[in-house]
Amino acid sequence: MEIDWSVVIEFMPELLDGAKITLYITSLGLLGGIIIGVIAGLMRAYGGPIINTIALIFIELVRGTPIVVQVMFLYFALPVIANIRIDPMSAAILAIIVNAGAYIAEIVRGSLISISKGLAEAGLALGLPYWKVLLYIISPLAFRRLIPPLGNQCIVSLKDTSLFIVIGVGELTRTGQEIMAANFRAVEIWTSVAILYLLMTGSITLILRTIEKRMKVL
Amino acid sequence: MSMIEFKQTSKAFGDLTVIDKVDLSINAGEVVVLIGPSGSGKSTLLRCINGLESITGGDLIMDGISVTGNAKQLQKIRQEAGMVFQQFNLFPQMTALENVAFGLEKVRGESKEKSKEVALGLLTKVGLKDKANHSPSELSGGQQQRVAIARALAINPKVMLFDEPTSALDPELKQEVLTVMNDLAKEGMTMIVVTHEISFAKQVGTRLIFMEHGKITVDGDPNIIIDTPPNDRLKEFLKHV
């Protein structure tokens, strides 16, 4: 079969719809993941032995298993053991929330503990309660160190959504797969899919670079 | 009534006893200089006063409140005890002025304008009015330490605790910090200073304490002690500083 780039125009609307779903899963997943990650990261950095262990178990469970297994568990196993039935889209978003949450937790913890202990002591010595020291002194500094690894995680999570092909979520990769099954235009389709991913990850990189430039990273 | 009262105070890190049943009473207006070899417990003693280290035995009363109290009481103690650190520990994301205004705003609950106004006054006092809008990284070590002193003074403490304030500075910069401390002593501020600056002890200190192995072994008038050390260990120590 000859390579015919004109077919790209024909199936582009479909691919763009897939890309929209990819972005939808990624943004909701990361939003939840950041919330979970900040909570679990704080638990790891400042919690007592019990709280710390709870967070650690969550992180190790998630980091220690592949995301495909996690989403399969959420979609196929959860209905059986707990009678909780969720649609593929929710399972996909939940998988990103849980997965990104675990990784972001360690990023948050790392940024927090990287801030010099002396700064916290200086805040405490002024007579502030610890939560205010955390809020006004440590967090703003930790946030700046958080951005580069967080950006990395955003890109990883975006690409991880392609794995949800296994539960039939119509994201970009799945859409590409379906079009290909109909017309066998492998080169044209997978090239287009790859470029669309590059455009999305590239945008994340650009956004993060702008944030980084605005906040002088210390 | 004394401002700070150590009563058989001990501090241990695991099996290592750093402060060993210390009894010490410090009155308002005293300028106490703490000296001693490294590992003798002088910094730890200082850090126990504002609860940055929690004591493991005895009691320690600061301005009528025990450091063994709850978090609120500990905050109250810290609001009456300004601290200056060896490594300055200025908040790097804030300007000099913001560093000084920070405590007023967040601890004393003053308005932004009032805090800045008072902070500018304090920066003027330590000779750094023109550096108000500089960030800490743009200041020399001596300037940073003077900002740190202004920051500690901003919350209007009754006592100032200095933990080796000039140890990270070269001789020239040391002097500008010592001058500020000297002025502070002249105003009648109660000060406890961990230092190796014997000349400061002599000129400014009203009381000299020598520590060894977590105990106070010498306590008295700096001029008398330095000129005629009462024990050999101190005599030996003074030779090297």
The answer on pLDDT for A214 being more than 90 is no
pLDDT given for residue B1 in this prediction: 67
Rounded to the nearest integer, the mean pLDDT of chain B is 94
Instruction: List strand residue ranges (DSSP E) for B53-189, in order.
Output: 57-62, 65-66, 81-84, 159-163
Cβ(B22)–Cβ(B216) below 8 Å: yes
Q: Indicate which of A124, A126, A136, A141 best probes the interface with B, i.e. most B CBs within 10 Å of its own CB.
A: A126
Provide the number of CB pairs (under 8 Å) joining chain A to chain B. 61
Contact A126 B103 (CB under 8 A): yes
* Partner residue opposite A141 with nearest CB, options B75, B92, B107: B92
Give pLDDT, residue B208.
96
A84 confidence band (pLDDT: 50, 70, 90): confident
Q: Is the pLDDT of residue A111 over 60?
A: yes
Q: Give A12-66 pLDDT, tens digit per residue.
A: 999 999 999 999 999 999 999 999 999 999 999 999 999 999 999 999 999 999 9
The answer to whether B4 and B49 are in contact (CB under 8 A) is: yes
pLDDT of residue B168: 92
Residues B93, A125: Cα–Cα separation, whole Å? 18
Average pLDDT over residues A109-134: 96
Alpha-carbon distance B100 to nearest alpha carbon in chain A (angstroms): 11
Instruction: Look at residue A217 and tell me whether its pLDDT is greater than 70.
Output: no
- Tell me what the mean pLDDT of segment A104-114 comes to: 97
User: pLDDT tens, B167-177?
Assistant: 999 988 999 99
Q: How far apart are CA A77 and CA B75, in angstroms?
A: 51
Cα–Cα distance, A36 to A39 (Å, whole number):
5
| Run of H or E including B22 | strand B16-26
Direct distance between the N- and C-terminal alpha carbons of chain A, in angstroms, rounded to an integer? 55
Question: For residues B117 and B105, what is the distance between their CA atoms, to the nearest angstrom?
Answer: 11
Please report which helix (H) or strand (E) contains residue B183, including its range: helix B171-186
Output the average pLDDT for chain A: 94
Name the closest residue on chain B to residue A122, using Cα atoms.
B89
Count Cα neighbours of B210 within 13 Å in the Cβ-side half-sphere: 19
**Integer CA distances (angstroms), A196 to A68, A88, B57, B236, in order:** 22, 22, 66, 75
Whole-number Å distance between alpha carbons of A162 and B155 = 56
Q: pLDDT band for A3, please (50, 70, 90 cuts).
A: confident
Give yes or no for residue B62 having a pLDDT over 80.
yes
Cα radius of gyration rounded to whole Å, chain A:
21
Q: Indicate yes or no: CB of A122 within 8 angstroms of CB of B89.
A: yes
Q: How far apart are CA A146 and CA B187, in angstroms?
A: 45
Chain A: closest CA distance from residue B43 (Å): 14
| Count of Cβ atoms closer than 10 Å to residue A134 Cβ | 19
Q: How many CB atoms lie within 10 A of CB B28?
A: 14
Distance (Å, whole) CA B40 – CA B37: 6
Nearest residue on chain B to A216, alpha-carbon basis: B93
**Residues in contact with B23: Cβ distance below 8 Å, sequence separation at least 6, in sequence order:** B6, B7, B8, B9
pLDDT digits (tens, 9 = 90+) for A126-184: 999 999 999 999 999 999 899 999 999 999 999 999 999 999 999 999 999 999 998 88
Q: What percent of chain A has pLDDT over 70?
A: 98
The dihedrals phi and psi of A116, each to the nearest 5 degrees, come to -50, 135
Which residue in this structure is represented by tokens 């409140």?
A: B65
Alpha helix stretches (DSSP H) within chain A: 6-46, 49-63, 67-72, 78-82, 88-113, 117-125, 130-133, 139-160, 172-183, 186-214
pLDDT at A211: 87
Q: Which residues pair with B162 in a beta bridge?
A: B84, B193
Which letter does DSSP use for residue B51 in this model? T
CA of A212, closest CA in chain B: separation in Å? 14
What per-residue confidence (pLDDT) applies to A216? 66
Q: What integer is the mean pLDDT of B35-46?
A: 94
Which residues in chain A have Cβ-Cβ distances shorter than 8 Å to B192? none
pLDDT per residue as tens digits for the range B103-160: 999 999 999 999 999 999 999 999 999 999 999 999 999 999 999 999 999 999 999 9
Give the burial class of A66: count Cβ atoms within 10 A of its Cβ; 0-12 exposed, 13-18 middle, 19 or more buried: exposed
Give pLDDT, residue B3. 94
**How is residue B134 annotated by DSSP?**
S
From first CA to last CA, the distance across chain B in angstroms is: 34
CA dihedral over A51, A52, A53, A58, signed as positive or negative:
positive
pLDDT for A7 equals 87
Residue B69 has pLDDT above 60, yes or no: yes
Contact residues, chain A to chain B, C-beta under 8 Å = 116, 118-119, 121-129, 132, 136-137, 140-141, 218
